[in-house]
Structure 1
Amino acid sequence: MKTYLKLAWHSLLKNPFFSFIILFGISITIMVVLFVGSLLDTGYGSHGVYKNIDRILIAPQLTVKRTGKKGISNSGFSYKAYKDHISKMTTPIVMGVTKNQWRNNLYYKDLSLSKISCKSIDENFTKIFPLEFIIGRPFTKEDLDERRKVVIITEGIAESLFNKEEDALGKKIKTSSEVYEIVGVVKNVNEMRRQAGADIYIPLNIYLKENEDWHVFLGSSTIFMKFDDKEDMIAGQEEFQQIMNSMPIDSQKNEEKLSAKILTEKGWLIDNMLDIEEEKLFYVYLSLIAFFVMFIPALSLINLNITRTSERTAEMGIRKAFGASSTDLFKQLIIENVFTTFIGGVIGTILTFFVIYLFNTYNLIGFGNNYDLEINFTLLIYGVFCTLFFSILSGFYPALKIANFGIIHSLKNDKQ
């Protein structure tokens, strides 16, 4: 093995031009795969505040279909729809409601922060999305029932408003023309995890009256349900549809039907992209994208490898003349390609970290500081697998072709 690695290094240095092109193609391909993987993993990966995301069903939109030319209305749910009907479900272990996220200015004494993301949540939100409390407490049912003006902020907001020596609990901040008392500080939540991320959290206004002329069940809230396992989730989807079918309609307003989908976060991604409700396709399409991203450059690298290895037919012929078998030559060339691809993979990984650093530093993803791409250990393992797959895919045929050349053919046709 040591000899093969020395030959691989010598081969890499022998033709710098080909080596540069091959390393460039490999590193860029690996960088693209890891970067796209980082986007998907940051937004949909089952870790951190999203560690239960694959056991959570989400209903963000209700559709009211009307007869004739009256068309349809789409919006979130009202709290009344949740309280009077959907909360009666028995299959979830916990259910919660949030108001759709918005941005506002935030004030504390003479300080002000702009474009602060706000989310209204109920008392069950932290049971579904486990915010990590540094100090303080989550909201209670009494906070919502008594309309208490309390707020939970992230550590990033706390650092922007207060000195390190100051205790944020009990301090009062102002946003949306309301003054709120801080009852908790949580670790920053990446806002690419859109269902859970925000800068500040305030209690949901459960007494807010929706515009009943529009529809009593239409509002601006999203409903979440957490389940024990996949079987319960399937049962929960069926129970949800039964409740949707039983919710009353107003025929005097030409209403014909109420409908809504309830899917996982990954299921919603596939549904929005392809109008397909099957979550398993998330992994199928992710694998297909990764395969084609790597396969197309691999075709070009196969041609480059054929050109490079065909220049070494004389070398292979001499090695065969001194007793090397076709298997030995095949192993040598495959190891050389794996070695070269591994170097390209390392370069691609370094480039990925650099590109992600630029995106995070210059805030190229979103509006605030909590839109940061992440790379976890699983993604790095996937990158190693991609590198190995790429090396075998691009090196197998050229190695097989030159390893099977005859001795005389190799010595006479060293330019084939």
Structure 2
Amino acid sequence: MLKNYFKIAIAVLKRRKFFTFISLFGISFTLTILMVLTAFMDNVINPTYPDLKRDRSLYIGRVEIRNTKLGWRNTSSPSFYFLTRYAGSMKTPVNMAISSNTSSSNAYVGDKKIVMEIKYTNAAFWDVADFEFTEGKPYDKAQIEQSQHLAVITEKTKANYFGDERSVVGKYIEADNIKYRVIGVVKNPPITSSTYYASMYLPYTLTKGNYKDTGNMGEFGAVLLAKSTADVPKMQKEYDQIVTKIPTGDKNMDELFSSADTYFKEKVRGLYGNGPSSGFSHFSILFGAAIFLFMLLPTINLVNINITRIMERSSEIGVRKAFGASSKTLVYQFIIENLILTGIGGLLGVLLSTLALYFINQSDFLDGLHLTLNFTILFYGLIACLVFGILSGVYPAWRMSKLAIVKALKAQ
């Protein structure tokens, strides 16, 4: 029976090539967008170079103080003092990486201007992250305390600044008229890993800001590393307890909020967070609504096309009903046909997604980012195909099954 349905479906697809093209384009294009987006989200959420210990890490990137009576609110990154004084007093973490927000500086090679994205870090930054050094090594705690002008640069920065030189360790790189001796070169991190992404890394003692300031707010963030994944909830609970005892540091403010979150939740909090609320539920609703609407539009279009296609076959429906075919049988047949159509569109979507990801990776559109299709993404693609096939096939098939035999035969 399924073999016959497949033959009929192929014959129908060949009959009206324009409708078939519109249907397949709508399915494959929508799936391509969804699968590329899923590949991007998969890259953001799951551990990727150099953030490979994400499953046992918590991220601190935000401090918020409030005046509950007047409704005032002030939000910022934590200061170096805040992180070392409070997060640094925790017993559960086995290490804590501290790094500044990325700042831009200019470097020049002849008449060529190079924009350098700089992070200032502590020594533990290199222990928590899993950077791959192609040459040299990171600076250590003693060198940081001595405020030595040392730099770790990426392979891209090496190529842009030094050209084809084989080894650059020991050479000097100049940014904003300040010279730094290159001590190491690392493989390019992806731009999506904002915690670790930069063009050049410098000791925190060289920062232009005052890292010795004892206020709560500044320009740094931290990654707390637990001994094991099982210790992460304990580490989070310990941090929450410490935060309740931290003074606001401002006589006009009476509440302070800060959280140690998982990677993705920390990013969502930066966008939608408000006090103790991480904003994750708000983000989930908006993201889910956007995906739903994105899928709804092509589905409605497919429904209209399928109604037109099915009604053109009214004579066939009338004949089959006259010979005893039940409405259930006809609905089943047309849903199967539509699933075959969406399956073909899904295969085209996978092919287009592969080409799109190849283009994105080769174009270096997003610095250091490498997107791939994995089994999880292919599974979501399969689910999307089934959703398309069922949603766009059920209603037209139901309308077709209710067509009276006499009316169907008159349409001959």
Under a length normalisation based on structure 1, what TM-score does the superposition of the two structures give? 0.81
Residues 128 and 2 of structure 1, relative CA distance in 2, 3 Å threshold: farther
Say which is worse superposed, 70-79 or 297-306, in terms of deviation: 70-79
**1:270–1:281: 8 Å Cα contact kept in structure 2?**
no
Give the secondary structure class of the aligned counterpart of 1:63.
strand
Residues 210 and 250 of structure 1, relative CA distance in 2, 3 Å threshold: same
Q: How many residues align?
A: 406
| Residue in 2 that maps onto 1:238 | 237
**1:111–1:161: 8 Å Cα contact kept in structure 2?**
no
Q: Is the aligned partner of 1:399 residue 2:400?
A: no
Structure 2 matches for 1:254-403, cutoff 5 A? 254=252, 256-271=254-269, 272-273=271-272, 275=274, 276-277=277-278, 286-319=287-320, 329-349=330-350, 352=353, 370=367, 372=369, 374-377=371-374, 378-402=376-400
**1:360–1:373: 8 Å Cα contact kept in structure 2?**
yes
Q: Distance in 2 between matches of 1:351 and 1:173?
A: 42
CA offsets 1:185-230 (integer angstroms, 9 cap, x no match): 2221111221221112122228974585xx6333211122133566
**1:63–1:259: 8 Å Cα contact kept in structure 2?**
yes
Residues 283 and 137 of structure 1, relative CA distance in 2, 3 Å threshold: farther
Q: Following TM superposition, by how much is the alpha carbon of 1:395 offset from its aligned partner in structure 2, in angstroms?
A: 1.2
Residues 98 and 237 of structure 1, relative CA distance in 2, 3 Å threshold: same
| Residue in 1 that maps onto 2:85 | 84
Under a length normalisation based on structure 2, what TM-score does the superposition of the two structures give? 0.82
Q: Tell me, which stretches of 5 or more residues in structure 1 are unaligned? A: none
Give the secondary structure class of the aligned counterpart of 2:182.
strand
CA offsets 1:131-182 (integer angstroms, 9 cap, x no match): 2222222332223223232222111122223354621222221124332222
CA offsets 1:8-46 (integer angstroms, 9 cap, x no match): 222112113322332233233223323433443344443
| Residue in 1 that maps onto 2:37 | 36
Match of 1:203, as an amino acid?
Answer: P
**1:316–1:410: 8 Å Cα contact kept in structure 2?**
no
Say which is worse superposed, 323-332 or 223-232, in terms of deviation: 323-332
Residues 309 and 126 of structure 1, relative CA distance in 2, 3 Å threshold: farther
Q: Distance in 2 between matches of 1:267 and 1:250?
A: 26
**2:64–2:76: 8 Å Cα contact kept in structure 1?**
yes
CA offsets 1:353-411 (integer angstroms, 9 cap, x no match): 66667777888x7xxx61757343233442233123211221133234435767x4475
Q: Is the aligned partner of 1:247 residue 2:246?
A: yes
Residues 65 and 77 of structure 1, relative CA distance in 2, 3 Å threshold: same
CA offsets 1:250-296 (integer angstroms, 9 cap, x no match): 67x55544432332332234432374427577667645543342134
| Residue in 1 that maps onto 2:179 | 179
Say which is worse superposed, 147-156 or 164-173, in terms of deviation: 164-173
Residues 128 and 280 of structure 1, relative CA distance in 2, 3 Å threshold: farther
Residues 52 and 254 of structure 1, relative CA distance in 2, 3 Å threshold: same
Q: Is the aligned partner of 1:412 residue 2:409?
A: yes
Give the secondary structure class of the aligned counterpart of 2:205.
coil
Structure 2 matches for 1:64-83, cutoff 5 A? 64-65=65-66, 73-83=74-84
| Residue in 2 that maps onto 1:149 | 149
Say which is worse superposed, 60-69 or 25-34, in terms of deviation: 60-69
| Residue in 2 that maps onto 1:158 | 158
**1:266–1:282: 8 Å Cα contact kept in structure 2?**
no
CA offsets 1:98-123 (integer angstroms, 9 cap, x no match): 11101112356x47542221111222
| Residue in 1 that maps onto 2:107 | 106
Q: Distance in 1 between matches of 2:294 and 2:229?
A: 32
Say which is worse superposed, 386-395 or 37-46, in terms of deviation: 37-46
Give the secondary structure class of the aligned counterpart of 1:49.
coil
**1:106–1:114: 8 Å Cα contact kept in structure 2?**
yes
Q: Following TM superposition, by how much is the alpha carbon of 1:3 offset from its aligned partner in structure 2, in angstroms?
A: 4.2
Give the secondary structure class of the aligned counterpart of 2:223.
strand
| Residue in 1 that maps onto 2:17 | 16
Residues 397 and 50 of structure 1, relative CA distance in 2, 3 Å threshold: farther
Match of 1:89, as an amino acid?
Answer: M
Give the secondary structure class of the aligned counterpart of 2:147.
coil
Q: Following TM superposition, by how much is the alpha carbon of 1:338 offset from its aligned partner in structure 2, in angstroms?
A: 2.1
Say which is worse superposed, 270-279 or 139-148, in terms of deviation: 270-279
Residues 321 and 183 of structure 1, relative CA distance in 2, 3 Å threshold: farther
**2:61–2:266: 8 Å Cα contact kept in structure 1?**
no
Q: Tell me, which stretches of 5 or more residues in structure 2 are unaligned? A: none
Match of 1:260, as an amino acid?
Answer: S
Q: Is the aligned partner of 1:224 residue 2:214?
A: no
Q: Distance in 2 between matches of 1:67 and 1:316?
A: 69
**2:82–2:216: 8 Å Cα contact kept in structure 1?**
yes
Q: Distance in 2 between matches of 1:122 and 1:174?
A: 21
Q: Distance in 1 between matches of 2:47 and 2:287?
A: 15
Q: Distance in 1 between matches of 2:247 and 2:371?
A: 45
Residues 315 and 129 of structure 1, relative CA distance in 2, 3 Å threshold: farther
**Percent of pairs identical after alignment?**
28
Give the secondary structure class of the aligned counterpart of 2:64.
strand
